[in-house]
Amino acid sequence: MNARVLAVIGGSGAYDLLRDQSLEGPCAGPVETPYGNSAPVRRIDCGEGAAVLFMSRHGERGYEVAAPFVNYRANIYALKSLGVSHIVAWSGPGAIDPSLEVGQYVVPDDLLDATRGRASTFFEGKGHGFIRQNPVFCPVLRSLLLSACASTSRPVRDGATYVCTQGPRLETPAEIRQYAILGAHLVGMTLIPESFLARELAMGYAPLCYITNYAEGVRERPYESGTLFEGLATTDERQRVRDAVSALPDLLRSVARAWREIAPDCACHTSMERFVRSGRLGPDWRTWTDR
């Protein structure tokens, strides 16, 4: 495995950065996979000889595909087929924890799954895939993300639990209270099944989040028709989110340059080793899946 190939999956706002050329690079187009076509993949030059493969999760021209309808299996399969070993994914969740600030970066370390009916495994009908989920995210990537964030003037939090909901609707106040009781600090819609699929194909994965709003009921906000999230985010908070997104290209370039200089010391590529050693799986990962 080439442990130097890093990919970035961009979340909400990635299309804006592509449109204004804050992120730019040649596009290989969608990759055809057994699970359908992936999102387009670009090669982004990060300077100093570093580069990443970049994929905009929701589309390249705007928010074209809502979270529950993203073809997560095709996207992860495509990146694996292109030699990617580790993935940095960004997501813009709401804050359940009132101590978090809108626009703040957070590097989560745990997940709660509240999705329903998403295609969440490559191993349907197979007798393998029951693999440990701790640490939830790649510790090497998390460390790089935290170091890169610390070099900016923006506050960053190390560690949080992200609950992934089904969407596309936002959550009710009672649901947010429930997730808070369960220990969630963030609520979003995209990290599951993406992170679990990456582990099934022995890839490292870690998210970088920026807070877009306070979740329902965390702050008292009147309903405002026609505005983002119908008033959950104030004008000032929306500007802070834009600032956080606009800073992401430089932050991710910093991560890519740091990545180029290290030999990742993590066990992410061994997640399926038990099945390979037993002979139940072959050395070619393409034979592991259900297609």
pLDDT tens, residue by residue, 240-255: 999 999 999 999 999 9
Q: Is residue 1 part of a domain?
A: no
**Any domain includes 70:** yes
Q: Please tell me the predicted confidence (pLDDT) of residue 147.
A: 93
Q: Note whether residue 289 is domain-resident.
A: no
pLDDT of residue 2: 41
Give domain status of residue 248, yes or no. Answer: yes
* CATH value at residue 62: 3.40.50.1580
The total number of structural domains in the chain stands at: 1
CA 73 to each of CA 130, 224, 279: distance values in angstroms, whole numbers, following the listed order: 17, 36, 25
Q: What is the pLDDT of residue 227?
A: 86
Range of the domain at 176: 6-282
The C-alpha R_g of the chain, in whole angstroms, comes to: 18
Task: Supply the pTM of this predicted model.
Answer: 0.95
- pLDDT at residue 49 in the model: 83
Is the preceding peptide bond at 155 cis, omega within 30 degrees of 0? no
Quote the Cα angle for 84-63-65, to 5°.
Answer: 70
With 0-12 / 13-18 / 19 or more C-beta atoms within 10 angstroms meaning exposed / middle / buried, residue 229 is middle
Tell me how far apart the alpha carbons of residues 279 and 9 are, in angstroms, rounded to a whole number: 33
Positions in the chain whose pLDDT score sits under 70: 1-3
Do 172 and 216 touch, CB atoms closer than 8 A? yes
Q: What are the angstrom distances between the C-alpha of 229 and each of 28, 169, 240?
A: 34, 10, 15
Q: Is the backbone peptide bond immediately before 135 cis, with ω within 30 degrees of 0?
A: yes
Question: Does 288 reside within a domain?
Answer: no
pLDDT at 5: 87
Q: What was the pLDDT predicted at 22?
A: 85
What's the pLDDT at 28? 83
Is 287 within the bounds of a domain? no
What pLDDT does residue 67 have? 96
Enumerate the H helices of the chain as residue ranges. Answer: 14-19, 72-81, 139-150, 173-181, 191-200, 235-246, 248-260, 273-277
| Residue 291, in any domain of the structure | no
What pLDDT was estimated at residue 23?
87
